[in-house]
């Protein structure tokens, strides 16, 4: 209304001024400038509206804890904390101070946003979400104003919807809650964080509207200590990558609406997807359905799931076709990796292929037997052996190495450093950062050379077998783990790692 009146008044004033013979051009110019400034600082900066999902109408009603796979202990911990919000009267009686914040810490795509939405649905709260970056502007004071605004918006919406609680979800909290004084334009960042601390301190059990802040981050080490002290984010919940049971649950949740063929074994897919997040697994089910649709199939069968895993892990198939010599080299390289993998852990090769996907010209995929949390020295050395085997197979069979092994070597060096920092090298227990560069280099070289000698011995022994499998790959492009093992067993000898 005020806007319309001002526009009308402005136009009338301009007409009168023109009639009186005034030059209105400089005035138009000034008004334009003021409007631009108002848009940048005032309208865009101050009056930001944060996205809200109304639990009564929006999608969060459908997102409850049953729709989130795995994370059994996370859900338990979260539910316990949320009961504080649900039973606020009892809490007051017992003299317990209200829970103000829950911090969800975990890698991207593990379901932190889903958990926050499910929390809002469980507590029948109003749900407002924002990302840490939405609070940061170049203009001083805007971030603090936005923090005040999101809390006010949450309270107003809760009253309007006649509810008693609101959940404010702040994703990527490290952007606004980073350690104070560590930013370039630190005053603006510090003011924003201070305002968040003030708002959280102001939450009391006597408030008409109970506000709970749920924040998510995958860089908790960057957070200011004032933010994570008790009384602010009281609960810190780790939302890790799902284990094999969790992966199976997530896959089955996201396959519910897809027509699956009877041969689909989601447990087997879960075993093949070690290290995948919930978001990756959702993408696997989606890609499998897309692949089936492309082939004009009515049902999604297991083969599509396996191809979808490759696609999510490595990227889309590339059109580039290496020439025959390069293909031969790629086949030798990948078979080298596979031979070593099977030698160290029989039954571990899932497939070998010379199809280019993403940046990889070919790849060997392994099936992890179980989820590991601790790695022994033997296990880590075995991983170095598998990484080195590709390049060593090229050298022994083709007489030279190639640039295709650069990323294998980088990974092998990373594992060697892991061995050193875990006190499993000749240096004993050391702090990796304190080891002089020259010494570190020598120890890494020793570790790699020792493993190279082990691997070379095996490659030389099975040279003909590698050529046989590579020949097969030149024609078939892909070989399954079972077929590879059949060729290996035809060799008549059981493979052993020489120590
Ligand atoms: P980020 O840290 O990148 O913001 P996030 O941890 O908040 O990620 P979400 O946005 O909650 O992850 O999850 C992304 C998508 O992944 C979801 O929409 C859902 O499809 C799927 N997903 C992730 N985890 C799970 C899970 N545990 N159960 C079911 N689906 C999941």
Same-domain check for residues 301 and 356: no
| Ligand 1 geometric centre to CA of 68 (Å) | 9
477 a catalytic residue = no
CATH number of the domain to which 69 belongs: 3.40.50.300
Domain span at residue 179 reads: 51-238
Catalytic annotation, pick one of 199, 334, 381, 451: 334
Same-domain check for residues 259 and 230: no
Structural contact between residues 210 and 159, judged by C-beta atoms closer than 8 angstroms: no
Q: Assign 382 a pLDDT band (cuts: 50, 70, 90).
A: very high
Tell me the backbone φ, ψ of residue 286, rounded to 5 degrees.
-65, -50
Last residue of a domain, one of 189, 205, 238: 238
Is the CB of 111 inside a 6 Å radius of any atom of ligand 1?
yes
Strands (E), 367-430: none
Protein residue closest via CA to atom 19 of ligand 1: 279
Same-domain check for residues 356 and 437: yes
Structural contact between residues 143 and 137, judged by C-beta atoms closer than 8 angstroms: yes
For the chain, the average pLDDT equals 85
140 within some domain: yes
Provide the 3-class DSSP secondary structure of residue 223. strand
Same-domain check for residues 344 and 407: yes
Same-domain check for residues 310 and 343: no
Among 88-102, 157-171, 244-258, which is the least confidently predicted range? 88-102
184 within some domain: yes
Same-domain check for residues 172 and 116: yes
Same-domain check for residues 386 and 433: yes
Last residue of a domain, one of 314, 344, 363: 314
- Return the number of other C-beta atoms located less than 10 Å from residue 208's C-beta: 8
Same-domain check for residues 331 and 443: yes
Strand partners of residue 360: 357
Size (the chain), residues: 499
157 within some domain: yes
How many structural domains is the chain composed of? Answer: 4
CATH number of the domain to which 286 belongs: 1.10.8.60
Last residue of a domain, one of 197, 213, 238: 238
Same-domain check for residues 363 and 285: no
Separation CA 231–CA 98 (nearest Å): 9
pLDDT digits (tens, 9 = 90+) for 265-281: 999 899 888 889 999 99
Chain-centroid distance of CA 495 in Å reads 38
Task: Quote the tokens at residue 481.
Answer: 């783990």
Separation CA 244–CA 273 (nearest Å): 8
Is the CB of 112 inside a 6 Å radius of any atom of ligand 1?
yes
pLDDT digits (tens, 9 = 90+) for 11-60: 787 788 777 777 777 777 887 887 776 665 554 444 556 655 544 444 44
Provide the 3-class DSSP secondary structure of residue 315. coil
Same-domain check for residues 136 and 256: no
Is the CB of 146 inside a 6 Å radius of any atom of ligand 1?
no
Q: Which atom of ligand 1 is nearest to the CA of 70?
A: 27
Q: Residue 186 has what pLDDT? A: 60
Same-domain check for residues 11 and 74: no
Q: Assign 235 a pLDDT band (cuts: 50, 70, 90).
A: confident
CATH number of the domain to which 365 belongs: 1.20.58.760
Q: Which atom of ligand 1 is nearest to the CA of 253?
A: 29
Same-domain check for residues 121 and 18: no
Highest average pLDDT, of 162-176, 450-464, 476-490, comes from 450-464
**Could you tell me which residues come within 8 angstroms of residue 47 by beta carbon, excluding any fewer than 6 positions away?**
149
DSSP class of 176: H
């Amino acid at each position: 209304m005020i806007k319309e009146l001002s526009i009308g008044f402005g136009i009338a004033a301009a007409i009168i001024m023109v009639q009186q013979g005034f030059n209105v051009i400089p005035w138009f110019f000034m008004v334009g400038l003021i409007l631009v400034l108002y848009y940048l600082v005032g309208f865009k900066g101050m009056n930001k509206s944060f996205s809200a999902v109304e639990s009564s109408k929006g999608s969060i009603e459908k997102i409850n804890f049953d729709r989130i796979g795995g994370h059994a202990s996370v859900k338990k911990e979260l539910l316990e904390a949320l009961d504080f919000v649900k039973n606020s009267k009892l809490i007051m009686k017992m003299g317990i101070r209200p829970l103000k914040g829950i911090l969800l810490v975990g890698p991207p795509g593990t379901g932190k946003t889903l958990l926050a939405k499910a929390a809002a649905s469980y507590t029948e709260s109003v749900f407002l979400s924002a990302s840490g970056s939405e609070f940061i502007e170049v203009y001083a004071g805007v971030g603090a104003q936005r923090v005040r605004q999101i809390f006010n918006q949450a309270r107003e919406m809760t009253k309007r919807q006649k509810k008693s609680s609101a959940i404010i979800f702040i994703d990527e909290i490290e952007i606004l809650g980073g350690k104070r004084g560590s930013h370039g334009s630190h005053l603006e960042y510090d003011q924003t964080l201070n305002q968040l601390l003030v708002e959280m301190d102001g939450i009391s059990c006597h408030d008409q509207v109970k506000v709970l802040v749920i924040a998510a981050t995958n860089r908790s080490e960057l957070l200011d200590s004032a933010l994570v002290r008790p009384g602010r984010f009281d609960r810190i919940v780790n939302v890790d990558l799902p284990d094999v049971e969790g992966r199976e649950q997530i896959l089955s949740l996201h396959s519910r609406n897809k027509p699956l063929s009877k041969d689909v074994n989601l447990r087997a897919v879960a075993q093949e997807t070690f290290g995948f997040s919930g978001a990756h697994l959702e993408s696997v089910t989606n890609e499998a359905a897309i692949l089936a649709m492309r082939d004009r199939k009515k049902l999604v069968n297991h083969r599509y799931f396996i191809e979808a895993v490759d696609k999510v892990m490595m990227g889309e198939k590339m059109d580039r076709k290496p020439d025959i010599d390069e293909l031969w080299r790629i086949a030798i390289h990948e078979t080298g990796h596979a031979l070593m993998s099977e030698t160290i852990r029989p039954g571990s090769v899932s497939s070998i292929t010379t199809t280019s996907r993403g940046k990889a010209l070919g790849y060997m995929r392994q099936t992890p037997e179980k989820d590991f949390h601790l790695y022994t020295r033997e296990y880590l050395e075995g991983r170095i052996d598998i990484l080195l085997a590709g390049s060593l197979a090229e050298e022994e069979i083709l007489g030279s190495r190639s640039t295709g092994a650069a990323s294998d070597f980088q990974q092998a060096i990373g594992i060697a450093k892991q061995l050193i920092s875990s006190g499993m090298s000749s240096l004993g227990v050391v702090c990796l950062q304190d080891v002089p560069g020259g010494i570190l280099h020598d120890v890494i070289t020793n570790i790699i050379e020792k493993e190279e000698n082990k691997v070379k011995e095996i490659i030389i022994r099975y040279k003909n077998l590698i050529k046989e499998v590579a020949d097969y790959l030149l024609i078939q492009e892909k070989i399954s783990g079972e077929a590879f093992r059949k060729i290996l067993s035809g060799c008549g000898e059981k493979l052993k790692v020489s120590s």
